[in-house]
Structure 1
Amino acid sequence: MNSKWFGFPKRQGKVAQQAHLGLPENTYEREVGKEGFFGPVTHFYHQHKPTGWVDFEGDNRPRAFDTNVFKSCQSTPWEAQVLLKNNSVKVRFLSIETSMDHLVRNADGDDVLFFHKGAAEVFCDYGHMHISEGDYLLIPKGTMWRLHISEPCQVLMIESTNGHYQLPDKGLLGPNAIVDAAVYRTPEINATFQAQYSEDTWTVMVKRLQKLSRIEYPFNPLDAVGWRGDLMPVALNWRDISPVMSHRFHVPPSAHTTFLGNRFVICTFVPRLFETDPAALKVPFYHNNDDYDEVLFYHAGNFFSRDNIHPGMITLHPTGFTHGPHPKAMNNAFKQKNAMTEEVAVMIDTRDPLEVCGAAEDVEWSDYVHSWKE
């Protein structure tokens, strides 16, 4: 039996004619929606800021973590500790300064690596690629790979443990919108890859059920001379993303989706023009995302909706409370000094609650919950 929401819109009291545009005087808009901005929705117009709390107790609070505090580096991705996790996704942070002397293979799921800093040569089953700051690298489950470091790397690792990554449906925008398929990069069996063929002993560290197995070969198993198919690692730099914009409407985060996981999405916020209509809201609206936990990794720039946040920080806004711009940002709700945003950030929205692991708690900014106070 097919089911749907009731689907009949109603209104009470003073409201805007349309969302995020022309709010009633001296009000603050709050959006309450289902399915992470895709489902039924209601907009409230409040006399006070919905984030105007004076006290906040309990675990279901906004949290922030600073990866810049991590001092140690790893020699393999499997040493990177898990920061956040549920049954569909695990989020790690890798700092690596020396080239890997072994190969790794993830038998638990696909990986998306976002290179926050550094540069490296990637060698994998499929060939060779150059990766640098701002690159996403999608690695299919079971792929053997290693990094040859040319500049120390800091990498946000997002593991899909319950299904493979896919691309979002672009709908009316057409196939070339947001990301044109022509800008995706894939590994090549080039001279650099061929130069690493050898009869030397190589080790592969396989992660399965979060445990490691060690396999030794009397040769380099990255010895492919060719391949064909539509399953392969893919790289994408945020600079090749063309964001969706509206001059009258502050578009929701869902419009910035880059990769789809099973029960979570990865979105990318890149510089874009502010809305030009004087009545249009120019900061993220207050909202209850009551079906998803929201994680944001701040990569670069000036984060116009947040105070006291700098590159390398991670915020977690769990379901169950209203959140939105900080007070200073809200003062610019209908005006901005600059013509466009300057931020670059990676967002992970998860359908199931995330567990905060000990490694994240070690670098937590505990006063983040109070940063909405005037």
Structure 2
Amino acid sequence: PPPGAGAGVDFVDGAVTIAANGDPAGQDGCGANTYSLSASMSARGRYMRHADADVLILPQEGALEVRTELGDFRVEPCELALVQRGTVFQVNLAEGTQSARGYFLENFGDLFVVPELGPIGISGGLAHPRHFLAPQARYEETEGDFELVSKFLGQLFRSPLTHSPFDVVAWYGNLVPHKYDMRLFAALNTVTYDHPDPSINTVLSSYTSSPGLANIDFVIFPPRWMAAEGTFRPPWFHRNCMSELMGLLHGTYDAKPDSFQPGASSIHNRFTPHGPDGGAVRAGTDADTSVPERYSGSLAFMWETRLAWHPSEHALAHMDDPAYPACWSSVERRFDASAAPPAAEAYAFPPDARR
């Protein structure tokens, strides 16, 4: 996890880029960042406008007050805020909060949408549109010495202002900043055996013209029930054509209970083998899968993109963990080619279970 912010550090100064891909000028790809702050942007009369990307903010510690031209909202850990590109905004510490840190994503590509649900239907699965909340309207007319920080074509610019840009009296439309409480996500899972694809946990997607290859999928692993029988329940070992960046907002991640801390990040670029650590493998192997298990007290997320993540120089210099592969060193070799194969059940449930 990144260190806490020193005194007087706001959202702009406390932002650190972990990795990125694509091209802001071509409106393709994304950037992954963390933030640590101990001061509000309002304390310095500072505002920001991102011309390249929609900004997805995920608080990990400390509540935020996000102010925009179209209104304000309070965003706490387990909630997200999404501010569309071109919108002037301000990130402040919420009342009673002394410091905060978390993650934020810059989406250079197509606008985020709730994913197409297909045979799941639209009745209530995954993230429901009714749970995305528009900001509380607020208007101010204040003159003074202010600063606007703009990000344009990947570069930061600043310019003086003589009045607050939050002087919008009214607005019309549906492209509006919003927040979403991830505790309202209706998680779906198998109730027989094996694993659905992790895409079943997608909250938001930025699509491309190639079906199945998203510019970015925002996926969460929320509290949920695991009921699959005869199944290794933790995430499997795999390689993926997509590139994954994982983060942990709180609790422990079921695939790496011994080696992944809240606030940390991991990157597995396309076709890089990865999977659960030794502790997760032992727990998953020894579990009695005839008993449903409740996963609680945790919220992990993944930013999955069709483009490879390019780690920043800062990340390589200050966040690299050379010992990371050791999390798999305690995974036991369990296959014995000389042993008789176990009896296999041809059905998800034995025939007498249908009587």
SS of the residue 1:288 aligns to: coil
Residue 351 (structure 1) shift: 0.7
Q: Percent identity?
A: 21
Contact between 1:70 and 1:363, CA under 8 Å: does it hold in 2?
Answer: no
- The Cα offsets for residues 196-217 of structure 1, whole Å up to 9 and x where unpaired, read as 4323343211111222222333
Q: Are residues 121 and 321 of structure 1, via their aligned partners in 2, closer, same or farther at CA, if it must alter by over 3 Å? A: closer
Q: Are residues 123 and 285 of structure 1, via their aligned partners in 2, closer, same or farther at CA, if it must alter by over 3 Å? A: same
- The Cα offsets for residues 177-224 of structure 1, whole Å up to 9 and x where unpaired, read as 1122221111121xxx23x43233432111112222223332212111
- Choose from 167, 189, 204 the match for 2:148: 204
Look up the match of 1:178. 126
Give, in whole Å, the separation in 2 of the partners of 1:204 and 1:314. 30
Contact between 2:56 and 2:81, CA under 8 Å: does it hold in 1?
Answer: yes
- The Cα offsets for residues 226-248 of structure 1, whole Å up to 9 and x where unpaired, read as 11211011111221111112122
Contact between 1:250 and 1:275, CA under 8 Å: does it hold in 2?
Answer: no
Contact between 1:78 and 1:207, CA under 8 Å: does it hold in 2?
Answer: no
Q: Are residues 183 and 162 of structure 1, via their aligned partners in 2, closer, same or farther at CA, if it must alter by over 3 Å? A: closer
- Choose from 251, 267, 271 the match for 1:320: 271
- The Cα offsets for residues 276-322 of structure 1, whole Å up to 9 and x where unpaired, read as 42x12311112121x11111101112222112222111111122332
Look up the match of 1:301. 251
Give, in whole Å, the separation in 2 of the partners of 1:348 and 1:76. 21
1:164 equivalenced with 2:111 (yes/no): yes
The root-mean-square deviation of aligned C-alpha atoms, in Å, is: 2.0
Give, in whole Å, the separation in 2 of the partners of 1:321 and 1:98. 39
Q: In structure 1, list runs of 5 or more residues that go unmatched.
A: 1-65
Give, in whole Å, the separation in 2 of the partners of 1:352 and 1:147. 29
Residue 338 (structure 1) shift: 7.8
- Choose from 47, 52, 64 the match for 1:120: 64
1:286 equivalenced with 2:205 (yes/no): no
Look up the match of 1:81. 16
- Choose from 48, 58, 66 the match for 1:104: 48
Look up the match of 1:341. 295
Contact between 1:250 and 1:283, CA under 8 Å: does it hold in 2?
Answer: no
SS of the residue 1:239 aligns to: helix
Q: Are residues 255 and 236 of structure 1, via their aligned partners in 2, closer, same or farther at CA, if it must alter by over 3 Å? A: same
**Pairs within 5 Å for 1:1-374:** 66-67=1-2, 69=3, 72=6, 74-77=9-12, 80-87=15-22, 88-100=29-41, 101-150=45-94, 151=97, 152-175=99-122, 176-189=124-137, 193-194=138-139, 196-248=140-192, 249-262=194-207, 263-277=215-229, 279-289=230-240, 291-306=241-256, 307-333=258-284, 335=287, 339-342=293-296, 343-361=298-316, 362-374=318-330
Q: Are residues 72 and 319 of structure 1, via their aligned partners in 2, closer, same or farther at CA, if it must alter by over 3 Å? A: farther
- The Cα offsets for residues 118-144 of structure 1, whole Å up to 9 and x where unpaired, read as 112221111111111221111100000
Give, in whole Å, the separation in 2 of the partners of 1:332 and 1:79. 38
Look up the match of 1:7. none
Letter aligned with residue 195 of structure 2? H
SS of the residue 2:72 aligns to: strand
Give, in whole Å, the separation in 1 of the partners of 2:64 and 2:17. 22
SS of the residue 2:323 aligns to: helix
Contact between 2:4 and 2:37, CA under 8 Å: does it hold in 1?
Answer: no
SS of the residue 1:286 aligns to: coil
Contact between 1:294 and 1:316, CA under 8 Å: does it hold in 2?
Answer: yes
Residue 71 (structure 1) shift: 5.2
Q: TM-score, normalising length from structure 2?
A: 0.80
- The Cα offsets for residues 24-52 of structure 1, whole Å up to 9 and x where unpaired, read as xxxxxxxxxxxxxxxxxxxxxxxxxxxxx
Q: In structure 2, list runs of 5 or more residues that go unmatched.
A: 23-28, 208-214, 331-355
